[in-house]
Amino acid sequence: MRLFADLYFTLDATTRTNDKVAAMRAYFDAAPPADAAWAVYFLSGRRPKRLLSALLLRRWAAELAGVPEWLQEEAYHAVGDSAEVAALLLPDATETADRPLAEWVEGVILPLREKDEAAQRAAVRDAWAELDDPGRYVLNKLITGGLRVGVSQRLLMRALAETAALPEATIAHRLMGSWEPTPAFYSTLVGPDDPGANAEADLARPYPFFLAYPLESDPAALGDVAEWQAEWKWDGIRAQLVRRDGQTFLWSRGEELVTDRYPEVAAAAEALPDCVLDGELLAWSFADGRPQPFAALQQRIGRKTLGRKLLTDTPVVLLVYDLLEWQRQDWRERPLSERRAQLAALLAQTASEWLPLSTVITADSWAALASLREESRDRAVEGLMLKRLSSPYRVGRRRGDWWKWKIEPYTIDAVLIYAQRGSGRRAGLYTDYTFALWNGDERGAGELVPFAKAYSGLTDAEIAEVDRFVRANTEDRFGPVRAVRPELVMEIAFESIQASGRHKSGVAVRFPRILRWRRDKTVAEADTLAALQSMIAA
């Protein structure tokens, strides 16, 4: 554990990517395979299912420290992280031991799930007694699932690739799909190519997704429009359909196997030969020939039981736009134009309405494409995707070959009425905001009705200024939430909107964020619910 705790604090102490990579590589060079496997598991963002309540962790630490409940709660609201609060409250460590990370995870942390509360308390207190202060902090982070340390998947892959002397793309592919953090897995991950080493996992394994950057400049800077393929940007769930040896596997971008959740797509895939397809899961209206709102697709997400009515009312298709593997050959290094031609031939032969081919938009100029982009909302899409015809299918988010040219978001001017402290590095500041609009259709009249929460969009200086305003203008408190004097007006941007019976405002918006602070507007000039609701009809 001590070696892993040292790695954690080294990573947490620097923002230099080369230093982070060097620290991870040093760890993987020194750690036994069992520990290295768990380190990869946690650093890649995976975590066990909930083991116990974070509140219990804080309470048990407060008991040992003789700290009253109210003070423990205040400490949590100030720090914003249960694992850190518990570590700070604990009395200083005395005698400590150093067991391997794998022993801690498999022998102490994971068994907590099967224990009752009294046994959990005893096990956690025994663990704290064995560890020094850094070890306790990391243990708490592992128990609560909050081990976030500023390491991207790409940095982890780079460190592993350097450790193994393998291409990053190879490591990225081996990390995809389902795997268990065992010594055998780690040995395979950093070992030389051996096609038979894990044939069953290889059969189902998807490829790392290629992600686009937002286009925020004039597309004419990309060069000749003829060198680019334009498609609509769909608002669904990115997915890969893996078809190998007569078996079908459907993976979400979050590396979750979702084959059983979309049986209509899986059934259609049975007609396919061996291939791997990249596309978008969309709730589809066959009558209109267009996607249903994302909210319709949300009804299918996470549902274990799919009734006949749900399958009938909300059918899902996989709109396909790339071919990554064909007849068990990796096609990702081939140009998009070649991949697209083979994909079109494949889907024309299959001719399934559940596996439609994404439409390529033809235009002879960037101006013509810009004009078509203005039709996005009428077509229930988010804008355009621009892909260089000569581009390979890369790993992760890379600049240059794929761009998402999204339409401008919806915006509305709203009033800050509630604030709450953030978490992690923002724990000491009020950064989580609730915004409201005037009820009715007249500005400055009636009551302010909350409609959205937003957490991003302000600069650090603006956040500090709002924090000072909240502290000086609090009118009421509801636990950690402060009701503030309605005075600050912000322009809120969001991607989509729909009617909602679950919200007091009657409206739900998607991906709300702060676009700018409207210092030029008074509260009476903020927008109304009627203005927001009119966007639904539009």
Token digits for 432?
A: 């989580």
Contact 435, 450 (CB under 8 A): yes
Could you give the count of Cα atoms lying within 13 Å of 455 in the half-sphere of its Cβ? Answer: 9
In single-letter form, the type of residue at position 95 comes to E
**Three-state SS at 184:** helix
The residues facing 454 across adjacent strands are: 433
The residues facing 387 across adjacent strands are: 229, 402
Find all residues with CB under 8 Å of 273, minimum gap 6, and list them: 243, 327, 346
In single-letter form, the type of residue at position 327 comes to Q
Contact 440, 446 (CB under 8 A): yes
In single-letter form, the type of residue at position 403 comes to W
Catalytic site includes residue 233: yes
The residues facing 449 across adjacent strands are: 437
Encode 388-444 in three state secondary structure: ECCCCCCCEECCCCEEEEECCCEEEEEEEEEEEECCHHHCCCEEEEEEEEECCCCCC
Backbone dihedral region for residue 150 (phi beyond 0: left; psi -120 to 50: alpha; all else: beta) = left
Separation of first and last alpha carbons in the chain: 57
Backbone dihedral region for residue 461 (phi beyond 0: left; psi -120 to 50: alpha; all else: beta) = alpha
Find all residues with CB under 8 Å of 457, minimum gap 6, and list them: 490, 493, 513, 514, 515, 516
- With vertex at residue 38, the alpha carbon angle to CA 35 and CA 41, rounded to the nearest 5 degrees, is 155
In single-letter form, the type of residue at position 324 comes to L
Token digits for 361?
A: 């938009």
In single-letter form, the type of residue at position 239 comes to A
CA dihedral 37, 38, 41, 46 (to 10 degrees): 160
Q: Which long-range contacts (CB under 8 A, 24 or more apart) does 345-352 make?
A: 346/272, 346/273, 346/275, 347/320, 350/268, 350/271, 350/272, 352/268, 352/271
| Active-site annotation holder among 141, 233, 387, 406 | 233
The label of the residue with tokens 């940095």 reads 155
Active site residues: 233
